[in-house]
Amino acid sequence: MTTSGTLTRRGFLAGAAGFAACTRPAPAEKPNFVLFLADDLGYGDLSSYGAPDVRTPNIDAIGERGCRFTQAYANAPQCTPTRAALLSGRYQQRFGGLECAIGVGNVGRYDEAVWLQERNELGLPADPPTMGRIFKRHGYATGCFGKWHLGYLEKFSPGRHGFDEYFGILGGNADYFTHREFGGWPALYHNGKPVEEEGYTTYLIADHAVRWLESRRQNPFLLYVPFTAPHTPVQGPNDRDKKITEENWNKGDRATYCRMVEALDEAVGRILEKVREVSRGRATYVVFMSDNGGYGLSRNDPFRGGKSYLWEGGIRVPLLVEGPGIPAGSVTDQVALTMDLVPTFLSAAGLAAPPASRFDGVDLMGVLRGEREPFQRTVFWRYKRAQNRRKAVRHGNMKYLWDNGTEYLFNLAEDVREEHNLLEDFPGVAAELRDKLAEWEEEVRAPRLAGFPG
């Protein structure tokens, strides 16, 4: 059982097949990293997070061999901004125009994003040090297989961000069998070129990741696998004959959604089996996370809201981490954000960050290894889409939320469902958090928006 502010441990699971002994890797041998990112998976959509109708043994086993987080957050309630934070280790607001998902066909969905799109600048710039480039400079082989969603133009491509090989869809979603976006545009790319392949997208992503792993025999590797599942359209692996239209793209049933999640779990299992084979004793860290809360068919329990909102259900996500020194079966209530992964990976590998790096994320290895108690943080969110403006700050257990002009204050330690607005009861706390949020907004102002007229 988890107690507030502590990291609990269980003994190693009998017969569990870990990737390496739980000791720190020798400095002479750099560890491997495998990062799985689900798309729109709800907090409660895994068996290990309470889902009663989904079986996810391969994903759950990552937490059984390592650590399960109960207070992990996505940097945003939508795809693109979370991915920008994940690869950069920074708040996505620092780049400008990436505070909601880029629309199909490279469409900006709010004023600053439209302004950048008109200038062919809508995407994650390649000049700041990002995960792939950082690890490639340290001698790593780097592969990315799955959903990119950080810009359609070549200058924002996976290759520009340091990935040796890429296969997947550049945009936000596509039919799982025809691999086409709304309007019929081809969405599947391999190393910058559109390709046609037969098969279910989730399985194709796994196929390419496994094929890439088969050639990994010497250099350490960084494998980033951002699946499209279980994002819409609602198509299970046996739904090839289901005709997907604009009218039914977002429609379906929970049973089909569960089949999509189980196919995701199957793909994760296949990739991890190959990782074990090719690692040959090299220490390996494995992470599984979702990019934001789930949509209508998902299970975000026990939280309020879902994707596109800053209620806990829109940003609280599953996070499982295994690797050397991380006690098997441990559970932590440490507040963690997507942007923490880059500095945490660097710490795990004993590598220095590039001189130009100024991470907003923090190193969580001390907490993961039980060498440091969980610590309080002040963390921020801001979301923009069309005319919607939402922002929030969590300071300790107190959360201030501003949603299109309506204000809320919650004590998450006592009210995780965000049912009791304490704004009138604690006006001083609300004022303090409101000020912190305003200071943060000023501090993360994006330089490339200096010419924006708004």
- State how far the Cα of 182 lies from the Cα of 173, in Å rounded to an integer: 9
The model's pLDDT over 173-210, given as tens digits with 9 standing for 90+, comes to 999 999 999 878 899 999 999 999 999 999 999 999 99
The verdict on residue 77 lying in a domain is yes
Given 328, 356, 377, the domain boundary residue is 377
Asked if 300 and 249 sit in the same domain, the reply is: yes
What b/e readout covers 60-97, taking b as 16+ CB neighbours within 10 angstroms? bbbbbbbbbbbbbbbbbbbbbbbbbbbbbbbbbbbbbb
Domain match, 358 and 417 both: no
Helix axes 201-214, 254-279, angle to 10 degrees: 0
- Nearest alpha carbon to residue 137 among 162, 165, 166, 164: 162
Q: Is 16 a residue whose pLDDT tops 90?
A: no
φ, ψ of residue 49 in degrees (nearest 5):
-110, 25
Same domain, 310 and 417: no
What six digits make up the tokens of 254? 């929970």
In a domain, 9, yes or no: no
pLDDT in tens, 201-238: 999 999 999 999 999 878 899 999 999 999 999 999 99
Residue 8 has pLDDT above 80, yes or no: no
Percent of the chain with pLDDT over 70: 94
Residue 49 contacts residue 317 (beta carbons within 8 Å):
no
Distance of CA 232 to the CA centre of its chain: 17
Residues 204 and 290 in one domain: yes
How much is the pLDDT for 13?
30
Phi, psi of 279 (to 5 degrees): -70, -30
- Domain edge (last residue) among 355, 377, 399: 377
Under 8 Å between Cβ of 143 and 371? no
> Do the domain assignments include residue 4?
no
The confidence score (pLDDT) of residue 246 equals 84
pLDDT level of residue 382 (50, 70, 90 thresholds): very high
pLDDT digits (tens, 9 = 90+) for 128-157: 899 999 999 999 999 999 999 999 999 999
Residue 87 and residue 108 share a domain: yes
Rounded average pLDDT over 330-354: 97
Question: Does one domain contain both 205 and 218?
Answer: yes
Residue 388 belongs to domain with CATH number: 3.30.1120.10
pLDDT in tens, 113-124: 999 999 999 999
The distance between the two most distant Cα atoms of the chain, rounded to a whole number of Å, is 62
Q: Would 252 be classed as within a structural domain? A: yes
Cβ–Cβ under 8 Å, residues 384 and 110: yes
CATH number at residue 100: 3.40.720.10
Residues 406 and 268 grouped into a single domain = no
Q: Do the beta carbons of residue 100 and residue 82 sit within 8 Å? A: no
186 and 223, same domain (yes or no) = yes
Region 243-252: what's the mean pLDDT?
89
pLDDT of residue 36: 99
Q: Supply the mean pLDDT for the chain.
A: 93
Q: Indicate whether 263 and 407 sit together in one domain.
A: no
Q: Are residues 195 and 135 in the same domain?
A: yes
For the record, the structure tokens of 310 come out as 């800053």
Q: Is residue 12 part of a domain?
A: no
For residue 44 the two structure tokens come to 């409660």
Q: Are residues 336 and 260 in the same domain?
A: yes
Closest Cα to residue 1, out of 434, 329, 417, 349?
329
Distance of alpha carbon 212 from alpha carbon 247, whole angstroms: 37
Q: Is 296 exposed, middle or buried, given 0-12, 13-18 or 19+ CB atoms closer than 10 A?
A: middle
The answer to whether residue 15 sits within a structural domain is no
Residue 143's DSSP bridge partners are 165, 223
What predicted TM-score, i.e. pTM, was given to this entire model? 0.94
Domain that holds residue 394: 380-448
Answer yes or no: is pLDDT of 38 > 80.
yes
Q: Which of 353, 377, 401 is the last residue of a domain?
A: 377
Q: Does 94 map to a domain?
A: yes
Question: Do 181 and 302 sit in the same domain of this protein?
Answer: yes
For residues 86 and 361, is the Cβ–Cβ distance under 8 A? no
**Cα 224 from Cα 242, distance rounded (Å):** 30
HEC profile for the chain? Answer: CCCCCCEECCCCCCCCCCCCCCCCCCCCCCCEEEEEEECCCCCCCCHHHCCCCCCCHHHHHHHHHCEEECCEECCCCCHHHHHHHHHHCCCHHHCCCCCCCCECCCECCCHHHHHHHHCCCCCCCCCCCCHHHHHHHCCCEEEEEEECCCCCCHHHCCHHHCCCEEEEECCCCCCCCCCECHHHCECEEECCEECCCCCCHHHHHHHHHHHHHHCCCCCCEEEEEECCCCCCCCCCCCCCCCCCCCCCCCCCCHHHHHHHHHHHHHHHHHHHHHHHHHHCCCCEEEEEEECCCCCCCCCCCCCCCCCCCCCHHHHECCEEEECCCCCCCEEECCCEEHHHHHHHHHHHHCCCCCCCCCCCCCCCHHHHCCCCCCCCCEEEEEEEECCEEEEEEEECCEEEEEECCEEEEEECCCCCCCCCCCCCCCHHHHHHHHHHHHHHHHHCCCHHHCCCCC
Give the model's pLDDT for residue 28.
58
Total structural domains within the chain: 2
Strand partners, 380: 393
The pLDDT value recorded for residue 232 is 96
Residue 16 falls inside a structural domain:
no
